[in-house]
Structures are given as C-alpha cells and as structure tokens.
Amino acid sequence: MSAITLSGRVGRGVSSILRTWLLFIAILVLWEIVTRAAANTFFPPPSKIATTAAGLWFTGPAGHLFLTDTVFDNVFPSLGRTLGGWLIASVIGIAVGVLVGRSRTAMDYVGALFAFFRALPPPALIPIFIVLFGIGPGMQTGSIIFGAVWPVLLNTVDGVRSVDSVKVETARSFRTPKGYWLAMVVLPAAAPKIFAGLRLSLSISLLLMVVSELVGPPNGIGISLLQAQQAFDFPLMWSWLVLLGLLGYGFNAVFVAVERRALAWQPTGGRN
C-alpha cells in the first residue's frame, strides 16, 4: 500500500472495492450465461456449483455450526495435515537454517546436498513415503514436511548470512549475549527472506496435500475430488476445486496480513 492509497482510502473505498470485484462478477455472470447456453456436462454453471457446494458443506446440524460430516471427515483432516506439516517444516527449516547459516563452513559441506534435495520433485518421492509410513496420515504429513522444508531452510540460510556486518560488529563490541543476539539481531535481519520462504512453502504444502491424497486414502479433499471425477459428478468435482481455490486465497490473504504486520518496521514495509 503506497501513501497515495492510504490518504484517499475513505473516499475511494467504495469505488475501489467496486473496481476490484467488478470484473470478477462480470466473468462469473458471463461464465453462467455461456455454460447455460452450451449445456456441457463438464462445465456446469456456477450457480449449480454453488448450490452443490452449499449442500455438500453447509447443511449440517445447528450444533455443528451447520457444517456437514463431509467437512469434519474430509476438509478438516486435510487442513490439519497441510498446516501441521507446514508448521513442522517451518520450525525445522528455520532452526537448521540458522545453525547452518551462522557457521562459516557448514554450508560448504551441505549446500550442494540441500540444493539437490530441493530440486527433487516431491511427488516423485511419494512411493517411498508410502512404503516407509504406510498409506495414511503419516505418509501424507511426511511428504508435506519433506517438500516444504527446503525453501524455508535455504531462504533462512540466505537471510542469516546477509546480516549487515556493522550490526554484527556492534553487537560483538557490546558483548551481546548469544541468545539475545540471535533473537534480536540475526532473526529480524533475516525475516524478509524467511517470510518469502515460508510463503513458498505454504503453497507447496497445499499442493502436496492434494497430491498425497490423490494416491492415498482414507480421507481428504484430494481423494474426494478424485472420487467425484471417477463418479462423473462434475458439479461435485467443481465444488472441491473451488474450495481449493478459496483455501489458497484465504491462506495467502492471512499470510500477507501477518507478514505486513511482522515486517512493518522494514524500509520496504514488508512489501517484498
């Protein structure tokens, strides 16, 4: 957000909302008209998708906030694995990244190895994870962690290494305690890079959640999507697709908001 939009926020609020959503609504209406006219079974009109989705997720009992069993059986486990795997990968990535990045020689030893691991397409490793963990939540979370850890780790190393030498020397001349120095100098300086890695990892986690569920039951968004396709139930399949889009949009929006707050003190205002 630049200063111009901030000063004119109140006056332009309505028109900017209108402008932001106008094309979206126009395309939605156009899609509705075209799909109704074409009557192609692969492409149901958005109104049909919306009613299917509403019936699928929001017709549960009032005690469950009107959420259906499908939400509890398939959506929440998927979300749990995605976020859980991502969090574990983030903790490991930042911890190892700081350790390796602060050492002068460690990256020489393991840098090539880590870069190679990052280059491995994570879905290709799923067969190995299946035999190691069996089909189920362990395999799914495991492959999410393995795929999501490298961007965080390598970005943390990058960030930790780029700490301004003046800051390093100032801290040293004040005999700053190690823990304090790490938390107050190194991590804040590395934060923009770390956040960039975390963001990439989040979308990788979402991708791997779907991939690992396409091959491995018992439950989840991925397997529901595949079952809908195999049953040729296209409105249902589209509902799951839309849900994935919404999830991605929501994750990203929350992440950007948190990042803005956390990096507000940066000269770039956390825009990177």
Partner 1 sequence: MKRVFRSLAGLAVFLLLWEGIVRAGLVRQEFLPPPSVVFATLFQLLGDVSFLRDVIATFLAWLIAVLISVAIAVPAGLLLGSIPGLRASTAVIIEFLRPIPVAALIPLILLLIGSGPDAKITLAVYASLWPIMFNTIYALGEIDPVLLETARACGTSKTRTLFSVALPHTAPFVFTGIRLSATIALIAVVSTEFLAGAELGIGNFILEASTGSTRFDLVLADTMVTGILGFAINGGLELLGRRLFRWNTADREAV
Interaction of residue 244 with partner 1, rule CB under 8 A: yes
Minimum CB distance to partner 1, residue 115 (Å): 6
Interaction of residue 42 with partner 1, rule CB under 8 A: yes
Interaction of residue 83 with partner 1, rule CB under 8 A: no
Interaction of residue 196 with partner 1, rule CB under 8 A: yes
Minimum CB distance to partner 1, residue 272 (Å): 7
Interaction of residue 153 with partner 1, rule CB under 8 A: no
Interaction of residue 210 with partner 1, rule CB under 8 A: yes
Q: Return the number of the residue (53 or 207) whose C-beta is nearest partner 1.
A: 207
Interaction of residue 247 with partner 1, rule CB under 8 A: yes
Question: Where in 113-142 is the site for partner 1 (CB under 8 A)?
Answer: 113, 115-117, 119-128, 130-132
Q: Which stretch binds partner 1 (CB under 8 A): 86-94, 165-173, 206-214, 258-266?
A: 206-214
Q: Which stretch binds partner 1 (CB under 8 A): 14-22, 46-54, 62-70, 164-172?
A: 14-22
Q: What is the DSSP string of the chain?
A: --HHHHHTHHHHHHHHHHHHHHHHHHHHHHHHHHHHHH--TTS--HHHHHHHHHHHHS-S-GGGTT--HHIIIIIHHHHHHHHHHHHHHHHHHHHHHHHHHHSSSHHHHHHHHHHHHHHS-GGGGHHHHHHHH-TTHHHHHHHHHHHHHHHHHHHHHHHHHT--HHHHHHHHHTT--HHHHIIIIIHHHHHHHHHHHHHHHHHHHHHHHHHHHHHS-SSSHHHHHHHHHHTT-HHHHHHHHHHHHHHHHHHHHHHHHHHHHHTTTSTTTT--
Minimum CB distance to partner 1, residue 213 (Å): 9
Residues that bind partner 1 (CB under 8 A): 16, 19-24, 27, 42, 105, 108-113, 115-117, 119-128, 130-132, 196, 200, 203, 206-207, 209-211, 214-215, 222, 225-226, 228-229, 237, 240-241, 244-249, 251-253, 272
